[in-house]
Structure 1
Amino acid sequence: MPEDPRPSAPRRIMSLWFPRLAAEHLLRAAPGDTRPFAVVRDHGNMQLLWSLSAAASAAGLKPGQPLRDARAMCPELHTRLRNPQREAAFLTVLRRWAGKYSPWIAETAPESLLIDITGCAHLFGGEAELMEAIAGDCAGFGLTVQAGIADTVGAAWALAHHAGGTAAHNRTGDAVDAEARATRSRAARRHWVKGGPAPLAAAPAAPAGRIAPPGQTRSALAPLPLAALRLEPEVLAQLARLGLRRVEDLLNQPRAPLARRFGQALVLRIDQALGHVPEPVSPAPAERADAVRMTLPEPIGLETDIAAALDRLLPRLCATLEGRGMGIRTIRLQAFRTDGTMQWISAGLARPTHDPGRIRPLLAMKLSEIDAGFGIDMLRVEALQTEPVHREQARGHAEAGQAVSERLAAQTALDDLVTRIGARVGMEAVTRLHPGASHIPEKTAIVLAAAWSDPAPGWPAPAVPRPRLLWRPEPVSAPDAPRPPGLIRWRGRRLRVLSATGPERIAPEWWLDEPAWRTGVRDYWRVTVEGGERLWLYYAHGATMSAGWFCHGSFA
């Protein structure tokens, strides 16, 4: 079959930014409220503005401003605490809505969507008409949206977030826009009288959405501020101190000096925006939440009421997972308050299970951490992490005894103990030792997390007894000879050697360069000193470091 001679359509990306997502999402429940409104977030011992309504922005408030300063500027400001999970859920709803325009959509938290509109724009009359349709839908939803369309993800994001913005400078009083208005006007008029070109009028503000024609990504990015490249704030501050304010100031700079001074991330962002480095749009996977919820007719606040609701929710969730052959590894209980906020507790298990009796105590011990506030009107239990749990196979009479033995030898009690301790101190803090594949004394055991490892089937016994206590080798003052000394000085004590057994020669791992083994081959001796103390001494024959005696452990 002959190939299609028509060239493939160029890749086109649309970025949608909802700058007031959190605030307008909450205001949808009160459409007639015109008071200045802001969503705040906790930051240390203070609260900062996170998302503002249009009325709050008109009052001069800015995101990131301390709440106490905002109330001084706008006493009638109405605030709500930020709920990141609810914002993410609302962004997911918007992603589903945007599926009417393209099937290839990705979320870029916390307030943006990326849409691959390649081959889709003509269905709506063109890119401009598509942008108008999206703006109309968002206006009907009560949302503010800014859009950008370009050939690359970075360029579309830059146009959506910074089209029409001005490049900020890092100066204080030496910039023209920092001078008095009368001084600037006289300077402009004097420059015009002397024969120069007339002063330019202020450029009109660019529209909220902007389209970069195909193949013109570079020219569309050039006038934008450097923040359009998605750089870290520290890098932006360094570039501003050098007088670099716009993207065009970096596009013509040699890459090697930029990478050496500001890191590879700066060069990568430039290449991604220009399309030299691919940046795919990865759509969100199909959602399948393993969760159950209960909506309460009246708010509750007692711990016993929450526990009673948990007794009804947890068996339903476990029954669903059991039917799919899955077990819970991490579980979370969410309590939704009447004021729109939410609090949660979570617990992890050492082994996946769908037994409600083994899961409930983990959540019950943390119920006291939930602050009901003005009341809880909905509870939700979600299995955050699940793993397969093998079902029991039918067994004959010959295998019945073996099945009973396996069930009696099961580590369920130990797993429950690890789970309960881990719920208090963290799963990573509960560890167990496993034999290590090394002949080096300090490497004969490795530390593993008990929740993600099985007990060692057997610990190989060494040919020569090893001490119960090991520490970093400590210098011992003794004659520089490979024979056991008669008198040693260790930890500030003079000790007389009564007996010595050995030697056991241990060579370093020649394929590794370890600083502790640069003294070369060691001859270990089991030494008994005055007072009955049994020490593990070795004589290092010396390699890249000098020879000598060291104490490595104790048998007591």
Structure 2
Amino acid sequence: MTDRRILSLWFPHLGADRLIRRNPLLGSVPLGVVQERNNMQVLSSLNSVALGYGLRVDQPVRDAHAMCEGLITRARSVQGEAGFLASVQRWAGKFSPWVAPEAEDGLVVDLTGCAHLFGGEEPLLEIVQQDCNDLGLAVRMGLADTRGAAWALARFAGQVAGSHRSGDAIDQEARATRSRAGKRRHWTRGGAAPVVTLGRDGSAHRIAAPGQMYSALGPLPIAALRLDAELTAQLARLGLRRISDLLGQPRAGLARRFGRGLVMRLDQAMGSAPEPVSPARPADHFAVRLTLPDPIGLEDDILAGLDRLLPQLCAGLERKGRGARRVRLQAFRSDHGIESIEVGLARPSHDPDRMRPLLALKLGEIDAGFGIDMLRLEVVQSEPIYTRSAVGHLEAGHAVNKRLAQNTALDDLIGRIGARVGLEAITRRHPASSHIPEKTSTVLAAAWSAPNSDDWPKPATPRPVLMWRPEPVGAPDTPQVPQVFRWRGQDLTRLRAIGPERIAPEWWLDDPDWRSGVRDYWVTDTADGQRLWLFYGHGGTMLSGWFCHGSYA
């Protein structure tokens, strides 16, 4: 045995607690968090009020509404819960520097050599419980020598191994099984019993005394070994329902029949196999600041400060192989106010000359007030940058460098325009694989996409320059191209018509604009000089008729 002490924190209502923190009124009503699983909506988290109605996690939403008429449901946000757990992980760093996430709703803390700083293990758990109460989090804790044992105690403390079939009891099993079960009871006898404390919500938090994993884990169900449900059910059918039922079995036989995963989990829980706690690496943070001896208020003075801050910031980015995507400049005024501007780059970069013009464009938005006494420059969003080098003969190298320079100039232009109108307003089109005219291209944000390098597909009939949703045309309901028709309040006369080009809808999609069925398109010239793209819809689920889809002008 080692002298390690591992604390497992389980937040059984993490999703619901997160929503209640944002809206405290949800804490007084039955609340369920819903997620999609196997084409069915199920409950992923519940608050204490909903649990009082007998609802449970993984229950179908339709069954939950039948049991609780007033149930309020909210869609699950996996990213939101992950961010919330990351915030809780930073809080847990007050107890130990070794904190790591565990699944989607738990944390594991290596408390080795740290508990005495808080007065011992029991006072430490009381502090954790009090902090979680203040944060509005329900928590269950387990403390043991191994990570697997702590996980089991946090989630299964006080639970009794149940049966998987009706009338299944030890008296109904074979005589040999009963005799082996009697011999295995010595694992749960003797030694210091685990210490059980109760939180304010009535949940049990168990502390396994050092070296007493056998007595602490023996009465727990097999599922406490972090096994999948199928393997747990298979073991239960054989009469192995508690961890103590496995401890007396030969390891070779278990591995041969149930795989090495079962033996590995058992060894990890008992400390025979290592399972370290590896905390997540903190995210790279890039920020620099400049404290000024006297307050400043001119744009030229702020630019001079930027000229000192940008090289330091970009040097840190370059050392980490990253480039800034969004940069924020904060100006701290002498009256304790803070002015902030933020710019985005079309491509990640650690070049000061590409950031300075964008920041200079927005300096006019800063109100200096009675003066600025500190500047802070921070990278809000960064991305990795991979070094590119040209290979080949001299001419090829010049061509590649010229192309890269052109791309840089275009990116700088996108960044400068984006500083004025927003990067999301600058878009480019890429070809898309579809025979539907309005779906042959995809609109992408220019700052987050590369120019199209492939050839655009060329249809048999050129497409119009302007396209819109089909507009009704006043003409006889016949497939023949009308000689005279009315469109947008104009009486038009046909001079020439080229076609038809038949286009069928995508039968696997229900597009409201294509419920007119198969279309016959005609390029139609009118007497007043217009060239329109007309089509005749053959009905489908709508009435047939003539429509105008675009113009070649």
TM-score of Structure 1 vs Structure 2, range by shorter chain: 0.5 to 0.7
Q: 2:295 touches 2:334 (CA, 8 Å); kept in 1?
A: yes
Q: 1:10 touches 1:118 (CA, 8 Å); kept in 2?
A: no
- SS class of match (1:154): coil
Given the alignment, which residue of 522, 530, 533 partners 2:530? 533
Displacement, 1:97? Answer: 10
After TM superposition, the structure 1 = structure 2 runs for residues 272-421 of structure 1, keeping only pairs within 5 Å, are 285-393=281-389, 395=391, 398=393, 400-409=394-403, 410-421=406-417
Q: 2:534 touches 2:547 (CA, 8 Å); kept in 1?
A: yes
Displacement, 1:102? Answer: 6.6
| Code of the aligned partner of 1:357 | D
| Code of the aligned partner of 1:104 | V
What corresponds to 1:110 in structure 2? Answer: none
For residues 133 and 278 of structure 2, what CA distance do their matches in structure 1 show?
A: 17
Displacement, 1:301? Answer: 2.4
| Code of the aligned partner of 2:138 | G
What corresponds to 1:441 in structure 2? Answer: 437
What corresponds to 2:251 in structure 1? Answer: none
Deviations 1:430-464 (A, max 9, x none): 11112121111111122110101112223222211
| Code of the aligned partner of 2:488 | R
| Code of the aligned partner of 2:494 | V
Displacement, 1:292? Answer: 2.1
Task: Point out 4+ residue stretches in structure 1 off by more than 6 angstroms.
Answer: 7-10, 117-120, 281-284
Deviations 1:192-224 (A, max 9, x none): xxxxxxxxxxxxxxxxxxxx9735554489xxx
- SS class of match (2:197): coil
For residues 495 and 431 of structure 1, what CA distance do their matches in structure 2 show?
A: 36
Given the alignment, which residue of 533, 541, 545 partners 1:544? 541
- SS class of match (2:459): coil
For residues 290 and 466 of structure 2, what CA distance do their matches in structure 1 show?
A: 54
- RMSD of aligned residue pairs (Cα, Å): 3.9
Displacement, 1:126? Answer: 4.2
For residues 428 and 291 of structure 2, what CA distance do their matches in structure 1 show?
A: 43
1:393–1:148: structure 2 CA closer, same or farther, 3 Å change rule? Answer: closer
| Code of the aligned partner of 2:401 | R
1:510–1:98: structure 2 CA closer, same or farther, 3 Å change rule? Answer: closer
After TM superposition, the structure 1 = structure 2 runs for residues 465-476 of structure 1, keeping only pairs within 5 Å, are 465-476=462-473
What corresponds to 2:420 in structure 1? Answer: 424
| Code of the aligned partner of 1:496 | T
- Stretch moving more, 416-425 or 116-125: 116-125
1:519–1:318: structure 2 CA closer, same or farther, 3 Å change rule? Answer: same
1:373–1:502: structure 2 CA closer, same or farther, 3 Å change rule? Answer: same
What corresponds to 1:186 in structure 2? Answer: none
Q: 1:12 touches 1:149 (CA, 8 Å); kept in 2?
A: no
* TM-score normalised by structure 1 residue count: 0.54
For residues 8 and 345 of structure 1, what CA distance do their matches in structure 2 show?
A: 45
Displacement, 1:538? Answer: 0.6
- SS class of match (1:488): strand
- SS class of match (1:214): strand
Q: 2:96 touches 2:111 (CA, 8 Å); kept in 1?
A: no
| Code of the aligned partner of 1:426 | G
1:98–1:464: structure 2 CA closer, same or farther, 3 Å change rule? Answer: closer
Q: How many residue pairs align between the two structures?
A: 341
Deviations 1:210-258 (A, max 9, x none): xx9735554489xxxxxxxxxxxxxxxxxxxxxxxxxxxxxxxxxxxxx
1:115–1:378: structure 2 CA closer, same or farther, 3 Å change rule? Answer: farther
> Is 1:493 the equivalent of 2:487?
no
For residues 377 and 115 of structure 1, what CA distance do their matches in structure 2 show?
A: 43
Displacement, 1:98? Answer: 5.7
1:333–1:406: structure 2 CA closer, same or farther, 3 Å change rule? Answer: same
Displacement, 1:553? Answer: 1.0
Deviations 1:124-183 (A, max 9, x none): 444664489x79xxxxxxxxx974579x942589xxxxxxxxxxxxxxxxxxxxxxxxxx
For residues 92 and 530 of structure 2, what CA distance do their matches in structure 1 show?
A: 76
For residues 551 and 213 of structure 1, what CA distance do their matches in structure 2 show?
A: 77
Deviations 1:498-537 (A, max 9, x none): 2111000000011101111111100001111221211111
What corresponds to 1:104 in structure 2? Answer: 99
For residues 457 and 515 of structure 2, what CA distance do their matches in structure 1 show?
A: 28
* TM-score normalised by structure 2 residue count: 0.54
Q: 2:98 touches 2:278 (CA, 8 Å); kept in 1?
A: no
Deviations 1:19-72 (A, max 9, x none): xxxxxxxxxxxxxxxxxxxxxxxxxxxxxxxxxxxxxxxxxxxxxxxxxxxxxx
What corresponds to 2:138 in structure 1? Answer: 154
Q: 2:95 touches 2:111 (CA, 8 Å); kept in 1?
A: no
Q: 1:313 touches 1:381 (CA, 8 Å); kept in 2?
A: yes
Q: 1:335 touches 1:378 (CA, 8 Å); kept in 2?
A: yes
Q: Flag structure 2 segments of 5+ consecutive residues without an equivalent.
A: 12-86, 102-106, 142-194, 205-276
- SS class of match (1:391): coil
For residues 541 and 399 of structure 2, what CA distance do their matches in structure 1 show?
A: 56
Q: 2:6 touches 2:111 (CA, 8 Å); kept in 1?
A: no
For residues 367 and 128 of structure 1, what CA distance do their matches in structure 2 show?
A: 55
What corresponds to 1:482 in structure 2? Answer: 479
- Stretch moving more, 285-294 or 526-535: 285-294
- SS class of match (2:416): helix
Q: 2:8 touches 2:108 (CA, 8 Å); kept in 1?
A: no
What corresponds to 2:197 in structure 1? Answer: 214
Q: 1:333 touches 1:382 (CA, 8 Å); kept in 2?
A: yes
| Code of the aligned partner of 2:414 | V
Q: 1:99 touches 1:105 (CA, 8 Å); kept in 2?
A: no
Displacement, 1:360? Answer: 0.3
Deviations 1:281-312 (A, max 9, x none): 99885253222222222232222111101111
Identity over the aligned pairs, expressed in percent?
Answer: 55
Q: 1:12 touches 1:116 (CA, 8 Å); kept in 2?
A: no
Displacement, 1:324? Answer: 3.5
For residues 131 and 9 of structure 1, what CA distance do their matches in structure 2 show?
A: 9
For residues 364 and 373 of structure 2, what CA distance do their matches in structure 1 show?
A: 17
What corresponds to 1:510 in structure 2? Answer: 507
Displacement, 1:429? Answer: 0.8
For residues 116 and 323 of structure 1, what CA distance do their matches in structure 2 show?
A: 31
1:213–1:445: structure 2 CA closer, same or farther, 3 Å change rule? Answer: same
- SS class of match (2:413): helix
| Code of the aligned partner of 1:460 | P
| Code of the aligned partner of 1:507 | A
Displacement, 1:348? Answer: 0.5
After TM superposition, the structure 1 = structure 2 runs for residues 9-48 of structure 1, keeping only pairs within 5 Å, are 11=9
For residues 8 and 367 of structure 1, what CA distance do their matches in structure 2 show?
A: 52
- SS class of match (1:513): coil
What corresponds to 1:464 in structure 2? Answer: 461
For residues 451 and 404 of structure 1, what CA distance do their matches in structure 2 show?
A: 26
1:468–1:338: structure 2 CA closer, same or farther, 3 Å change rule? Answer: same
